[in-house]
Amino acid sequence: MRELLRAESEIWQGRYLYLPRKERMESSIAGLKGCRAEILTIPDIGAKMVDYLLHIDSDGDTGSVFCSQGMEYFLYVCQGQCEVMVDGKLGNAGVGDYLHVPPGHEMRIKGKDGQATIFIHKQRYRSHEDVVPNLLWGNADEKAAAYTDGAHSQTLKKLLEDSADYDMAANILGFEPGVGFNQVETHAEEHGIYVLAGQACFMLDKKWIMVREGDYLWLAPYTPHACYGLGNDEFSYLLVKNTNRDYLLL
């Protein structure tokens, strides 16, 4: 007799979402060719962002699916290699490469030399004094890891500048085993979190869960959270969040 299935995912509409890698399903998106997309969070759950994990084959092509249309995008290559074309200019992207694409640009991703996995974040850009940031391409390995003395993490890499041009932050937080937050955090910023490596015990609202490489979490504003690295290797995750803007009354 087969063992009864048990879910590890944790979902609270409008509050938080935990999607372990082994439970996620792929979704069909019209216009993608040679690509398989995992849609990680959407507005229907209460998010003001959309996050994807895109698996693109050698002959894959996103076409016009991820063109700006008033949106900004942040891409991070998790595995493999791909080609990214912005406004007709083509560039190669490998593991650790990231790209911030402001509104008004045409973006297209193509496969190259086997399968690549790309984390893609999308949100509507909110300008400040009509300033729009320039296109930014970088690599996480070239960013210095600042030590935080236990505040938030052990190490912190800021992939985007602390600038009024940006209404979002993209950071990589790292934790050695046993190292964690020095306090529970509760704040206004919405979080999208993709685990890059290792494993940890993560506090999601008032519940502790185990997370590991490839897992995803979304946290609504004011959702209490914290974590501690576990195991034998460094735990790290990519964090995208809204920042640097006042809040509007609807």
Sorted by where each starts, the structural domains of the chain and their CATH numbers stand as: 26-140 (2.60.120.10), 143-242 (2.60.120.10)
Per the structure block, which two tokens stand in for 82? 């791909």
CB atoms within 10 A of CB 121: 23
Contact partners, residue 222, CB within 8 Å, separation at least 6: 186, 187, 188
Do the beta carbons of residue 112 and residue 58 sit within 8 Å? yes
Instruction: Report CA dihedral (93, 99, 103, 107) to the nearest 10 degrees.
Output: 10
* pLDDT in single tens digits along all 250 residues of the chain: 788 888 899 999 999 999 999 999 999 999 999 999 999 999 999 999 999 999 999 999 999 999 867 899 999 999 999 999 999 889 999 999 999 999 989 899 999 989 999 999 999 999 888 887 889 999 999 998 888 766 667 899 999 998 999 999 999 999 999 888 989 999 999 999 999 999 999 999 999 999 999 999 999 999 999 999 999 999 999 999 999 999 988 7
Give 194's strand partners. Answer: 216, 238
Do the beta carbons of residue 121 and residue 74 sit within 8 Å? yes
Do the beta carbons of residue 98 and residue 75 sit within 8 Å? yes
Per the structure block, which two tokens stand in for 87? 């406004």
CA distance 10 to 16: 8
pTM for this predicted structure:
0.95
CA distance 3 to 95: 38
Classified as helix, coil or strand, 97 is: strand
Do the beta carbons of residue 90 and residue 137 sit within 8 Å? no
Distances (CA, A) of 94 to 18, 108, 185, 216: 27, 15, 33, 21
CA distance 245 to 221: 14
Per the structure block, which two tokens stand in for 246? 């006042």
